[in-house]
Amino acid sequence: MDIGILPEFRNPAQWATPIEQIYREGIEKAVLAERLGFDHFWTSEHHFAVDSWSPSLLTILAAAAARTSRIRLGTFIIILPFHQPWRIAEDATAVDLISGGRLDLGVGPGWDLNEFESLGVPIKQRRPRMHEGLEALRRLFTEERLTHNGKYYRFSNVTLTPKPLQKPHPPLWVAAIGEQAIQQAARLGYNLMGAGSEHGQKIYDDALREAGREPGHYNIAQLRIAYVARTRQQAWDEAEPHVHYGLNYFYTRFKAMADRFTQQATLPEVPPVGRLRDTRGLSFFGARVTVGTPWRPHQRRHRCQKV
């Protein structure tokens, strides 16, 4: 199992700092993660966010590529319905070349209603747009010359030059949480990005086998919220406001989508700071939130014994 980190390059008002410092420290995290032996450095994409959530993933990864030599660099995720496939193919190729072939290219359909409305993209088109764009990306990487006349994207007589260092292209990943979306990613032969439970992994593996694919040839990247300190109380004292901020961000936006497209929202509200730490079954997209100490009690006692 590989382990990575995912800085979001965000700057919430209650912890505001100069934004250039956020970017400088974010790149330093890539350098530190490599030195500490982490396997991956991921980035994520949002637009027009009040906390400045990073909108330009591949630019950030190019900077990280120039400061590192081993750690893999990945997008978790590019919101592909907002981009032209040929543009992503060119920028991804540049990062792959700068990094010496260390890019993982993850894409997703997006989910923030505000972003889709601001950009004039119908949110109900998000998944078909993503899959059409992803197929165009794959062909741009592998074919000498491509004309694409799709439902959402059109371009003619395009040759991707230069080509990526990794052959036939950087590993391609698709973000999916729902059962049908996971099965579709497996049928099409993409690695899976998610934040769900073990149940989602079983759905993915079963769908790979049904499509005649070997699960051992594909990877799953699962996103987790984790924070550790010397004691559980210290960990929660330090992390609870930030965990609450992150969970509430997603809750408010998913509730807006549920209110728009369904009769009523069924999402559980996020408990306030002070009660969050005592919430049983606290999860992020179905995955347990882990805050505490890395040691079991008997291990701590052993560590404190004098020799």
- Residue 194: inside a domain, yes or no? no
- Residue 183: inside a domain, yes or no? no
- Residue 188: inside a domain, yes or no? no
Residue 122 sits in which domain range? 4-175
Whether 54 and 119 share a structural domain: yes
Whether 152 and 233 share a structural domain: no
- Judge contact between 192 and 176, C-beta under 8 A: yes
Whether 128 and 266 share a structural domain: no
Whether 112 and 253 share a structural domain: no
Query: Number of folded domains in the chain?
Result: 2
Mean pLDDT of the chain: 91
Q: Please name every residue paired with 172 in a beta bridge, in sequence order, or none if there are none.
A: 105
Q: Tell me the C-alpha distance between 87 and 143, whole Å.
A: 16
Whether 75 and 12 share a structural domain: yes
**Could you say which DSSP state residue 177 is in?**
-
Q: Which two tokens stand for residue 280?
A: 């049983």
Whether 16 and 99 share a structural domain: yes
Question: Of 140, 175, 210, which residue is a domain's last?
Answer: 175
- Judge contact between 293 and 301, C-beta under 8 A: no
- Judge contact between 136 and 150, C-beta under 8 A: yes
Band of residue 196 on the pLDDT scale cut at 50, 70, 90: low
Whether 235 and 299 share a structural domain: yes
**Residue 57 burial (C-beta neighbours within 10 Å; 0-12, 13-18, 19+):** buried
Condensed to tens digits (0 to 9), the pLDDT of residues 224-268 reads 899 999 999 999 999 999 999 999 998 888 887 777 776 555 667
Whether 232 and 166 share a structural domain: no
Any idea what the CATH number is for the domain that residue 37 is in? 3.20.20.30
State yes or no: pLDDT of 112 exceeds 70. yes
Question: Of 155, 175, 195, which residue is a domain's last?
Answer: 175
Whether 129 and 234 share a structural domain: no
Q: Tell me the C-alpha distance between 111 and 172, whole Å.
A: 20
Predicted pLDDT at 307: 28
Q: Tell me the C-alpha distance between 269 and 40, whole Å.
A: 32
Say what the pTM is.
Answer: 0.91
Task: Tell me the DSSP string of 190-238.
Answer: -EEEE---HHHHHHHHHHHHHTT--GGGS-EEE---EEE-SSHHHHHHH
Condensed to tens digits (0 to 9), the pLDDT of residues 52-74 reads 999 999 999 999 999 999 999 99
Whether 93 and 158 share a structural domain: yes
**Could you say which DSSP state residue 111 is in?**
-
- Residue 118: inside a domain, yes or no? yes
Predicted pLDDT at 250: 87
Share of the chain above pLDDT 90, in %: 80
- Judge contact between 152 and 84, C-beta under 8 A: no
Whether 171 and 259 share a structural domain: no
- Residue 138: inside a domain, yes or no? yes
Predicted pLDDT at 194: 85
Sign of CA dihedral 86, 51, 43, 64: positive
Residue count (the chain): 307
- Residue 216: inside a domain, yes or no? no
- Judge contact between 182 and 194, C-beta under 8 A: yes
- Residue 44: inside a domain, yes or no? yes
At 101, the amino acid letter reads G
Whether 81 and 165 share a structural domain: yes
Question: Of 150, 175, 200, which residue is a domain's last?
Answer: 175
Range name among 25-39, 157-171, 181-195, 275-289 with the lowest pLDDT average: 275-289
- Residue 258: inside a domain, yes or no? yes
